[in-house]
Amino acid sequence: MRCDEVTALLPGLVDGDPVGFEAERHVETCLRCQAELARYRRLLRTLSMLRTRYAEPTPGLLGETLAVITEAAERGARHTLLSGRRLAYAGAIGGGALAAGATAAVLIARSRKRALSLAG
């Protein structure tokens, strides 16, 4: 394999990705490609060091963010409350209707019974 072919594989080889026997063998024997691989390793090392190089957050952003969450949480709570109330209203209406139905059934049954006893 030629250096330019192997060079294209180096950004993966630096992670340990399999690149094939020929490419690996080329790197083992080619100083130029070894130097190139070393550059990629150094690049990765430097990139990983950026992890603890923190950016300074905009002043006030933390407070704004907490306020946004508070607003969303309150909105969510109101929504939950409304849903709960809706459920309660629906339950009350349903229960009332059921009770009314039962009362009506009892009254009808009684009136029929009375009518039958009067007839008899």
Partner 1 sequence: MDEAELVGAARGGDRQAFDELVRRTFVDTFTLARRLTGNEEDARDVVQEAYLRAWKGIGKFRGDAAFSTWLYRITANAAASSIQRRRRHRVVPFDDDFEPVDTGAEQLVSQGAETAEALDRIADALDDLPVKLRSVVVLKDVYGLSHEAIADELGISVSAAKVRLHRARHKLRDVLYDEGAQADAV
Phi-psi domain of 18 (left: phi exceeds 0; alpha: psi -120 through 50; beta: other):
beta
If we measure between CA atoms, which residue out of 43, 37, 40, 39 comes closest to residue 24? 37
Q: Which stretch binds partner 1 (CB under 8 A): 19-27, 56-64, 88-96, 99-107?
A: 56-64
CB of 28 to partner 1, least distance (A): 20
Q: Which stretch binds partner 1 (CB under 8 A): 19-27, 42-50, 97-105, 111-119?
A: 42-50
Candidate residues 25, 42, 86, 110; the one interacting with partner 1 per rule CB under 8 A: 42
What are the tokens at 83? Answer: 């849903």
